[in-house]
A and B are shown apart, each in its own frame.
Chain A
Amino acid sequence: MSEVKRGIIEEYLQEVETHLPPGTGPAKGEFLREIRAHLEEALADSECPTEAEIRNTLERFGEPVEIAQSFAEEMQEDPRMKPPASHPPSWLVILLVVVLWPIGIILTWLSPAWQRRDKIIVTVVPLILLSVLLLGGTATYHSYTVVSTDQVHELEEVRHPGPPEVVSPAGSIVSFVALVLMLVLIGSPLFCGIYLAIQRIEGQ
């Protein structure tokens, strides 16, 4: 399809988008993508559709203004689609996700601004990271503690009666785990915030 012909479709989609109501979130992006898929499929039968064929397909599809209005009406019929005034704005939810992750996540789930998939990602990813880190850290710390205690006993037998002068490797492991833990605790909410912001921008 030539650039000119592709331009006719793009112009049509642009006109639909212009007349769509604001605040319909990800549904709006999905809606436009679906219309594009329909038009592409409708024109797929002909290898090189003429300009007249494209215009005919678009005419059959309907006036962009009417389609956008129809979308607005259908969405209005469902009160869940329009976020009630009690919902905090998206920027506040994102900020809370970064600063106070547990509270931010609860608000994310209550907000209609994101899809379920996004909500699951920002909830599960930090929890998995934290669990893996805590389990791994605990196991490593435990194994080093056991080894170092055995070493202390051995040295106590050799050097007795003096006190054992052993620097336990568990200490450095604890420091390392604490450092990674801190990075995860700061990094995960930050990742979630950025991810939610991107999804929000893409959905608009």
Chain B
Amino acid sequence: MTNMSSQMKKGIIEYCVLAVIAGRGYSYGYEIVRELSELGLAAQEGTMYPLLARLKKENLLESTWRQEGAGTPRKYYRLTPRGQGELCRFRAEWSDFCAAVNRVLREANQCE
């Protein structure tokens, strides 16, 4: 069951990353990782960065390095139009999927 859970998370987590960035307008790795970790969605912080690299490579994200004051330079991400489209598509599909799963689970509950 743990394996299934991790497989499920793996497929969904990239949309969560897109959603976090979309919610803030733009964000950087540390901030994204902290938010997802607090929600229990990023078990290993370091694995978020390969994911971000792929999302950028797939043109769902664009990035720019920026330094604020004397702080550490940060790589800020924001959604490309393609990324926004993908997120909208996932939102609709996820909503339908959740509704269907909930219906099935409710019916299963009634049987017990």
Contacts and interface: CB of A to CB of B under 8 A. Distances in A.
Interface residues on A, range: 20 to 34
Contact of B46 (A41, A67, A81): A67
A42 interface: yes
A38 B53 contact: no
A66 B44 contact: yes
A195 interface: no
21 contacts: A27-B57, A31-B53, A33-B75, A37-B73, A37-B74, A38-B49, A41-B74, A60-B45, A62-B45, A66-B44, A67-B44, A67-B46, A67-B47, A67-B50, A70-B46, A70-B50, A70-B51, A75-B50, A75-B53, A77-B54, A78-B57
B87 interface: no
A9 to B, nearest CB: 12
A77 B57 CA distance: 10
Contact of B50 (A31, A33, A42): A31
Contact of A34 (B29, B47, B57, B58): B29
B110 interface: no
A30 B30 contact: no
The 9 closest A-B pairs by CB, nearest first: A62-B46, A71-B50, A74-B54, A62-B44, A67-B46, A74-B50, A70-B50, A61-B46, A40-B72
B33 A27 contact: no
Given A38-B29, A38-B33, 6 more contacts: A30-B75, A37-B29, A37-B73, A37-B74, A44-B72, A62-B46
Interface string B44-70: 111101111110011000000000000
Nearest to B72: A40
Interface string A77-88: 110110000000
A61 B50 CA distance: 12
A34 B75 contact: yes
A35 interface: yes
Interface of B, helix, strand, loop or mixed by DSSP = helix
Interface of B: 28-30, 33, 44-47, 49-54, 57-58, 71-75
Contacts of B47: 62, 66-67, 70
Contacts of A37: 28-30, 72-75
Nearest to A24: B53
A14 B33 CA distance: 22
B38 to A, nearest CB: 13
Nearest to A12: B46
A71 B49 contact: yes
A200 B53 CA distance: 18
A38 B28 CA distance: 9
B49 A31 contact: yes
A73 interface: yes
B72 A66 contact: no
Contacts of A61: 44-46
